[in-house]
Chain A
Amino acid sequence: MWSEFFAVLPQLLMNGLIAGGIYSLIAIGYTMIYGILRFINFAYGEIAMVGAYAAYTAIVWLHWPLWAGVLAALAVCSLLGVAIDFVAYKPLRKANRLSSLITAIAVSLLLQNLVALFYGNEIKTFREGPVEQGMNFFGAFITPTQVTIIATAFLLMAGLYWFVAKTKLGKAIRATADDMELAKVVGIDSEKVIRTTFALGSGLAAAAGVLIALEQNIEPTMGVMPGIKAFTAAVVGGIGSIQGAMLGGMLIGLVENIGIWFLPSGYKDAIAFVVLIFFLMFKPKGLLGGKLEEDVRK
């Protein structure tokens, strides 16, 4: 069994990296909004789904090239994220955080049903042409599409990391997550920071949605599982920590794809949740010690 396992390990790692990159992109949105507003915007999975449909519309209906479709998805979802905040979450800023959480679930259902109403429930795809030939890469087969997925995910994460670490607005985002009242006192408009954060998180989720659609079919419920797993990734990485979300996404993707070698394939989705339960029991702060524990104590 083990010799077989090690023979297929490079492929499992590669699959894990692809899934992990997608989870990480969505998890960044969860963790950034939690850092500032202390609630989980469960709608990110659905924003990823809308991103896939936006790209589908641009590429299949309007015959735009792939890159233009991706940019359209990013733009549409960034605006959508800001609009959702304005309509659904902003009126609840001073309410109990549970209200925002429940609203987020309602937003998810609304987006799923609106897309189903407009595009129908049947699966769609914007992949075309023959099945791609995989390249051998250290014993793993990887298609050009998969290379694109991994490269895009890593480039976007590096870009986000640079933005948050180095730019003035990025520093304002971190300052607001540290202490919103103090941030206002030094002159930071917290609503502008919140809008920016929703736009960034939603844009990354949209990118994840398009990357999923490069390999799989799209349908209105396609965002549910990646959304929940990305949430798991954010908690495992340490909610509130951006590096944690990236790391947690990779970890969930890898554990899931390696674990599946040992288990019947029907258990694949369960693996992430076992990891989640394990972390909540033994390391609730997550890998990079986010903000969960201090909030539980409050």
Chain B
Amino acid sequence: MSAALKIENLHAGYGKLPILNGVNLSVEAESITALIGPNGAGKSTVLKAVFGLTGWRKGRISFEGEELSRLPTHEIIRHGVCFVHQGRNIFPTLSVQENLELGAYIRANEASLVSDLERVYELFPALKKKRLDTAKSLSGGQQQMLGLGRALMLHPKMLLLDEPSLGLAPKILREIFEKIGYINELGTTILLVEQNVQEALEYSDKVFILREGRVEFEGTPKEVLASDVLKKAYLGR
């Protein structure tokens, strides 16, 4: 397997204070890679930096060999990478169907729009029933599904997911993770940021532990569990 996304010596932040202090990580193609770590470690900032959503960034970010770090946000998606935000990942006043259609905004050819919509509705049947409702009327879990479904409209090569479990009840959380596993089996590379360590270890192939803006550990979930690195990262030394 080869690296799909490669991040080298990434420094980024919003104001003067840096949040990332030289992050190095690479995500194998078609894997599920989890980025975990304590609050404030800069996990979400890594994903935002890939999409140019931080105030500033320095370092190299390449996807399948192409440099992304100089592109404006709206062009990143053209390289086949989609991002699902934490929390607010929908257009609240637009209908569910319009939200999904906008997932395919960059595609000029609208011929496959109907079949792509059907594919997403098959994966998330709850969305089909509500397709004409405004997105803000959906429940938290349904909004999370809508964000995922929107990102799938383009058949992305890679998905960046920022805390897909945030604020969800355990049952819905499992459902979301199962869908993520299924999406991955179909060939989409996934990098997810998780606060929920247990689920992250269960579903991922590889784990990066971030602390104070640096990668402190990388390895398989088994290696994480076998070491005391989690305790160190979360509870301090």
Contact = CB atoms under 8 A, between A and B. Distances in A.
A172 B83 CA distance: 18
B78 interface: yes
B63 to A, nearest CB: 15
Interface stretch (A75-83, A140-148, A173-181, A219-227): A173-181
A235 to B, nearest CB: 19
Interface stretch (A12-20, A42-50, A64-72, A187-195): A187-195
Given A171-B94, A174-B94, A188-B105, A182 B85 contact: yes
B146 to A, nearest CB: 12
A190 B53 CA distance: 14
Contacts of B83: 185
A186 B105 contact: yes
B93 A174 contact: yes
A168 B53 CA distance: 24
A189 B72 CA distance: 9
Given A171-B98, A174-B94, A175-B102, A188 B88 contact: no
Interface string B90-125: 111110001001110110000000000000000000
Contacts of A168: 105
Interface residues of A, number: 18
Contacts of B85: 181-182, 185
Contacts of A178: 91-94
Interface in B36-75: 51, 53, 72-75
Contacts of B73: 181, 184-185
A182 B88 contact: yes
B153 to A, nearest CB: 9
Contacts of B82: 185
Contact of B91 (A182, A187, A189, A190): A182
Contact of B89 (A182, A187, A188): A182
A185 B73 CA distance: 6
Nearest to A192: B74
B202 to A, nearest CB: 28
A109 B101 CA distance: 42
Given A178-B94, A179-B88, A190 B102 contact: no
A65 to B, nearest CB: 38
Contacts of B72: 184
Contacts of B102: 171-172, 175, 183, 186, 188
B72 to A, nearest CB: 8
Interface in B109-156: 150
Nearest to A190: B74
A186 B150 CA distance: 9
B77 interface: yes
Contacts of B94: 171, 174-175, 178
A115 B75 CA distance: 41
19 contacts: A171-B98, A174-B91, A174-B98, A177-B93, A181-B53, A181-B73, A182-B88, A182-B90, A182-B91, A184-B53, A184-B74, A185-B51, A185-B53, A185-B76, A185-B83, A185-B85, A187-B106, A188-B102, A189-B74
